[in-house]
Amino acid sequence: DAGVIQSPRHEVTEMGQEVTLRCKPISGHDYLFWYRQTMMRGLELLIYFNNNVPIDDSGMPEDRFSAKMPNASFSTLKIQPSEPRDSAVYFCASSLDVYQPQHFGDGTRLSIL
C-alpha cells in the first residue's frame, strides 16, 4: 500500500502569496493530521480530521491558515497571505483509528522569502 503522499516536496515563494499544501492519506484511514516542524517549536499539531470532519483546530496559528478535507482521500492546508515566519516543514499524517499509530508523509519544506 502507498503511504501518505504529500505535495509539493518543496515550495519557495514570496511573502504575501497564497500557498497550498496537499495530502493524500493512506486508504481506509479515518484520521488525518497536519503538523508543522520548526527548530524553535519542534513538532506541533495544527489540525486534525476524523472522517473528513475537522475535530480540533486549536493548533492553527492564525486565521491566515485554513485546512479542508473535501473527501476521504484528499486534504489541503492553505496559508493566505504567507509570511516568512511560516517557513517550516509541514507534515501530514493519517491513522486507522484512535489507537493506531500515525503514519507520516515525507513532508513539504516551505520557504517564504
Partner 1 sequence: AQKVTQAQTEISVVEKEDVTLDCVYETRDTTYYLFWYKQPPSGELVFLIRRNSFDEQNEISGRYSWNFQKSTSSFNFTITASQVVDSAVYFCALSEGLSLNNNAGNMLTFGGGTRLMVKP
CB of 3 to partner 1, least distance (A): 9
User: Among residues 18 and 48, whose Cβ is nearest to partner 1?
Assistant: 48
Interface with partner 1 (CB under 8 A): 31, 33, 42-43, 45, 48, 50, 53, 55-56, 89, 91, 93, 95, 97-107, 109
If 0-12 CB within 10 Å is exposed, 13-18 middle and 19+ buried, where does residue 96 land? middle
Question: Residue 76 in contact with residue 10, Cβ under 8 Å?
Answer: no
Distance CA 90, CA 107 (A): 5
CB of 80 to partner 1, least distance (A): 25
User: Among residues 44 and 83, whose Cβ is nearest to partner 1?
Assistant: 44
Distance CA 53, CA 67 (A): 11
User: Among residues 42 and 70, whose Cβ is nearest to partner 1?
Assistant: 42
